[in-house]
Every structure is written in structure tokens, then in C-alpha cells.
Structure 1
Amino acid sequence: MRTPIDRLAVLLMIVGALNWLMVGLFGLDLVASIFGGAEALGSRIIYSLVGIAGIYSISLLFREAPVNE
């Protein structure tokens, strides 16, 4: 069973992936645009949360899936 933290981590990774997609395709860093630049505190917090979520999500790869009978 997935916990709320698992779901939050996946959600943050999706946000990060979509942001990188925007950077790659259009040269637009949406997080930086919203929070006032890549060096702004808000942007750095979001980038850090996405990075922590990515590290945490490594554990999702090694968890056993529950067996439903």
C-alpha cells in the first residue's frame, strides 16, 4: 500500500519532470518564472523538495508489492 508520503514524493517528481520538459522544449523554467528566478528562495525550496522526493522515491523501487488474496 502506498502511503501519503509516497504519493507526495511521486507528485513532486512529476512537477520536476514537467518543469524539465518545459526547459528542454521551450527554454522556460516555470518554477523560476513563478518564484522570481532560479536563485530565489521559493525556487530553491521547490528544487530541494523535488530532489529530496527523488532520493526518497528510490526506496519505492525496492519495496515489495502487497499481495491481495
Structure 2
Amino acid sequence: MDRIALLLVIAGALNWLLVGLLQFDLVAAIFGGQGSFMSRVVYTAVGLGGLWSLSLLFRERGRG
């Protein structure tokens, strides 16, 4: 689950990079606009991945 969350966060970060540099929202372009159902699903998945990734900050690493 950690890797999936990380991949989602990276995808979101790359999309925001495109928005910031080029004013181009790749997710909206692929799925038919920001308000489309699929775009909202992707944005929600990225947000949930970000929330999950917050837990990584507070986890103790096991000694192996």
C-alpha cells in the first residue's frame, strides 16, 4: 500500500509541476476536464495517497 500511495503522490506532484510551469492540467486533459467523473476519481485517489503518505512520517522503522 505504501508504494501505491507513493506512486499516486508522485503522479500528483508531476501534474502540479505541469500546472505550475505550463498551466497544463494533464489529468483534466486526459479525462475530459477537471469536473469529469474520472478526473475527480484521480484527484481523490491522489489526495488519499497523500493522506496515507503522511503516516510514513510518523512510523517507526523496524530494526532489521
- TM-score band by shorter chain is over 0.9
Identity %: 56
Structure 1 runs (4+) greater than 2 angstroms displaced: none
For 2:3, the equivalent position in structure 1 comes to 7
The structure number with the bigger radius of gyration is 1
Unmatched runs of 5 consecutive residues or more in structure 2: none
Quick one: distance in 1 between partners of 2:22 and 2:30? Answer: 16
**Stretch moving more, 50-59 or 14-23:** 50-59
Of 47, 60, 63, the residue aligned with 1:64 is: 60
Q: Does 1:36 align with 2:28?
A: no
Answer 1 or 2: higher relative contact order, Cα 8 Å, separation at least 6: 2
Q: Deviations over 1:4-45 (max 9, x none)?
A: x00000000000000000000000000000000000001000
Unmatched runs of 5 consecutive residues or more in structure 1: none
| Structure-2-length-normalised TM-score | 0.96
